[in-house]
Amino acid sequence: MADKNKNNDNENKIFPFLSSDKKKEGKGVTKKQAAFNGKYDFFNFFSFFKFRLGDITKISLLFALTNFSLVLMFFTLTGYTNTTITTPSTPMYQQLFGMLQYNSESATLLTYSGIFGITADISVWTVWTKILFYSGYTLLITFGLSNVGMAYLTRGFVRRENMFIWHDYWYAIKKNIKQGLIVGITDTALCYLLYYALIFYSSSRDSYYLQVFFYLTIAFAVMYFIMRMYIYYMLITFDLKIRKIFKNALIFSVLGLKRNIMAILGIAFTVFVNIYIYVFLPSVGVLLPFIFTTGLMYFITAYCVYPVIDNFMIKPYYKDQPKPKPADESVFIDRG
């Protein structure tokens, strides 16, 4: 225990901004902040939010740091690392160019050349563009692991626990790295497939069957969006097989319907405000996801879904087995 406190002290000196140790500096937690009636309702959300406002900014920056390759990937889409080349704009350019070499004074050829023999400048990828873009594929590794860390931190916020942002983030990733990688890759693949299916069916709705598949894809996308709000929180809290995690997430997408709807509305409102700010203040709106929006969405998710997990899994387990024997095989093990 002393070693852990010593490590935390060292990390707080190195990463003071990412530390939430209230015992080191500041006035600490007031009686008003510590008071909690046990209800995760709409009004208590703002009390939690006010107390964790600074931490939300910190975890947003930490998430952006872990997934920085995504920033590089999007940077390539601006075209700053591309080069420009001149190319024919019509298939007839080569034939007209060749004929004009033999008869450059033909009025007919000059007329056709003015219409079909023009060129255009296009932007093409350079080696640096390819390197930066394909670095984005590291998200297959970092995305799931960063979700594990964010889930661990925001769960601690909702539990009203004192969190060491930098230490606890990497502690959660290290402890759940195997399942985090597998779930992260699966999650990323499913998100990509759903996105591809929506694009494909939205542009091919000529037949009745394609329209049916389009709306089925939308329904499945919404259901999976709700499921993934639970997946990472169960991963860090219980010792479950991955198949069981996804199964329970599907069940909770129905059992926690009321809180799920509130989470979706809260996240949608957050994204809407970010987009609204981007329209009028692009320089501010483009930075918000890296310094605030992302952390707020995770915090909203934790506040809405953790009470559901607590009511249906954690409390019943400890009620049935208040003092489990070491030799007994546990169905659920709280990893927190």
The structural domains of the chain, with segments of one domain joined by +, span: 9-18+38-78+131-318, 83-124
**CA–CA separation, 140 and 149 (whole Å):** 15
Per-residue pLDDT at 112: 61
> Which of 106 and 15 is assigned the larger pLDDT?
106
Predicted confidence band at 75 (pLDDT cuts at 50, 70, 90)? Answer: confident
pLDDT averaged over every residue in the chain: 84
pLDDT of residue 115: 67
pLDDT score recorded for residue 22? 44
Mean pLDDT computed over 306-335? 70
**In this predicted structure, what is the pLDDT of residue 84?**
85
pLDDT interval class at 322 (50, 70, 90)? low
Please name which of 306, 294, 290 lies closest in space to residue 270, comparing C-alpha atoms. Answer: 294
pLDDT class for 81, splitting at 50, 70, 90?
A: confident
109 has a pLDDT exceeding 90: no
Whether the CB-CB separation of 305 and 150 falls below 8 Å is answered with no
Residue length of the chain: 336
Q: Are 52 and 302 in contact (CB under 8 A)?
A: no
* pTM, 2 dp: 0.78
Q: What is the rounded distance in angstroms from the CA atom of residue 317 to the CA atom of residue 333?
A: 9
Report residue 52 CA to chain centroid gap: 20
* 170 burial level (CB within 10 Å; 0-12, 13-18, 19+): middle
- Would you state the pLDDT for residue 259? 97
Q: How confident is the model at residue 70 (pLDDT cuts 50, 70, 90)?
A: confident
Residue where the block lists tokens 């979706």: 264
Report the pLDDT value the prediction gives residue 328, as an integer from 0 to 100: 44
86 backbone dihedrals φ, ψ, rounded to 5°: -100, 135
Separation in Å, CA 305 to CA 158, 214, 222, 299, 332: 10, 28, 16, 10, 18
Which candidate, 48, 42, 15, places its Cα nearest to that of 29? 48
Average pLDDT, integer, range 21-49 = 69
Q: What pLDDT score does 121 carry?
A: 77
pLDDT higher than 90, residue 210: no
Are 235 and 336 in contact, with CB atoms under 8 Å apart? no
User: Which tokens in the block code for residue 302?
Assistant: 């934790």
pLDDT number for residue 125? 86
Query: Are the CB atoms for 288 and 274 separated by under 8 Å?
Result: yes
Cα 23 from Cα 20, distance rounded (Å): 9
In angstroms, rounded to a whole number, what is the distance separating the alpha carbons of residues 252 and 118? Answer: 61
